Amino acid sequence: MTTIIVFGLCYLAMLAVCATMARHVDDLPARSWPAASRRLLRAGGWLLLAVALAPAIHYWGVSVGITAWLGLLTFASTGLALQLSYRPGSIQGAALAAGASVLVAWAL
């Protein structure tokens, strides 16, 4: 369950950071973000990355937790990059699925 939580939070965090980048705005459903919203979304993405590190360290310890977090972050980022390149229309559904899986896994 911890893997699902960490992976889902990393995916959502990278999506939030990605949504603030000018090169990816055309690929996402919400195309126009005001400057204040972009800053808030970017800060929220970095905060989610920190939140994703907490359960990894809690369940696996410091050394293994950080290593697992970096691996899952790499996996989530690669998946998001491939999704942006080949299937940008499916990002909204994937974000909803990631959020739901994180909530369900955290509840269990």
Mean predicted lDDT score pLDDT of the chain? 91
CB 78 within 8 A of CB 45: no
pLDDT > 70? residue 104: yes
Phi, psi of 87 (to 5 degrees): -140, 65
pLDDT > 80? residue 33: no
CB 73 within 8 A of CB 50: no
Quickly tell me which residue has 């699925």 as its tokens.
97
pLDDT > 90? residue 25: no
* Tokens coding 80: 């998001």
61: left (phi over 0), alpha (psi -120 to 50) or beta: left
CB 73 within 8 A of CB 45: no
pTM: 0.91
> Can you give the pLDDT at residue 34?
81
> Can you give the pLDDT at residue 30?
65
pLDDT tens readout for residues 57-99: 999 999 999 999 999 999 999 999 999 889 888 888 999 999 9
